[in-house]
Amino acid sequence: MLIDMRKVEKLIDLWFDEDNNYFDLTAKIMVDDDAAATFGMNAREDIILAGLPMAELIFKKLDPACSFEALYKDGDRIAAGTTFARITGNAQALLTAERVALNLMQRMCGIAGVTAEYVKEIEGTGAFLVDTRKTTPGLRMLEKYAVTCGGGRNHRLGLDNGIMLKDNHIAVAGSITAAVARAKAHAPVLTKIEVECDRIDQVKEALEAGADVIMLDNMTNDAMRDCVEWVAGRVPLECSGGVRLETIRGKAETGVDFVSVGRITQSAPCVDIGLDDV
């Protein structure tokens, strides 16, 4: 996934406004203005890296002249005890930036790690793991980037990224056929239309109406196998709804093309990362 670093820089300003309203009282008192230091970012558990370019921006926001040396790259799997980046610069600035950088990377690495677990679980099935819009407000772009670091793929980045006709949209339109027709009449020509279905008769209606992708929502594995057989590859099928690590393999083996999982962003725990004097 490509990242607009311009937007990341705007987020960094907000994060520093939250954590450092006027100045870092402790660093100002305890550290001389011209003191220099070198710190290492260390993994305190086994992790998959995500967020190194963002961490570099965070440190350089307060010390543009600092040196940020990434010893690994995003997507690398590293063991506990590994130093994965080294930063040299103004000690006050680096200590003030420390918590913002660590908080972000701990969150992003956590998402990458959980994503990798789900990806491994469906290896060999032919299905791809995709994320959802169940992300932390303000952090979607970075959390979806973390998903790609863990081997997953992105679904819609936002509401303007594709048309998803869910049950409420269909109810307002009157039917799947009417909803798809209205979407096709007004959507940009390169925009895909996905229809959420929870019964095979809806899948048939969505396909006949011209849907580009069909979501099989909260269906049993047997029902999804029937849908896969009936659709016969004419459009991609996405499995969604209540997918867990212990159930994803069976769902992927039904023959669907994508399995979307909200938990990889919604429920991923943060990992333990530290900044230590070198």
Question: Which residues form the domain of 25?
Answer: 5-115+269-277
Query: Is 196 an active-site residue?
Result: yes
Catalytic pick among 77, 133, 134, 192 = 134
Q: Pick the catalytic residue from 56, 63, 194, 217.
A: 217
Residues 144 and 213 in one domain: yes
The active-site residue, picked from 74, 98, 196, 205, is: 196
Residues 150 and 262 in one domain: yes
Residue 116 burial (CB count, 10 A):
21
Whether 80 and 211 share a structural domain: no
Q: Angle at Cα 176 formed by Cα 175 and Cα 182, nearest 5°? A: 90
* 141 and 56 co-located in one domain: no
Region 74-98 average pLDDT: 98
Selected catalytic residue, list 73, 166, 234, 244: 166
Position 23 pLDDT exceeds 90: no
**pLDDT digit string, tens, across residues 206-222:** 999 999 999 999 999 99
pLDDT of residue 1: 61
Place of tokens 């490509």: 2
Q: Is residue 229 within 8 Å of residue 239, measured between CB atoms?
A: no
Pair (141, 86) in one structural domain: no
Reply yes or no on whether 134 is catalytic. Answer: yes
Residue tagged active-site, from 44, 86, 99, 184: 99
* Segment 128-133 mean pLDDT: 98
For position 143, which CATH number holds? 3.20.20.70
Q: Do residues 153 and 57 both lie within one domain?
A: no
Domain count along the chain: 2
- Whichever domain contains 51, its CATH number is 3.90.1170.20
| pLDDT tens for each residue of 39-48 | 999 999 999 9
**Are 167 and 217 in the same domain?**
yes
The Cα 222–Cα 142 span in angstroms is 36
Looking at the predicted structure, is the pLDDT value of residue 76 above 70?
Answer: yes
Structural Rg of the chain based on CA atoms: 23
Separation CA 153–CA 131 (nearest Å): 7
Q: Are residues 130 and 55 part of one domain?
A: no
Q: Quick one: tokens of 159?
A: 């509401």
CA angle 186, 188, 191 (to 5 degrees): 110
Residue 217 annotated among the catalytic residues of the structure: yes
Where residue 2 falls among pLDDT bands split at 50, 70, 90? confident
Q: pLDDT value at position 88?
A: 98
Decide: 259 and 128 in contact? Cβ < 8 Å.
Answer: yes
% of the chain with per-residue pLDDT over 90: 96
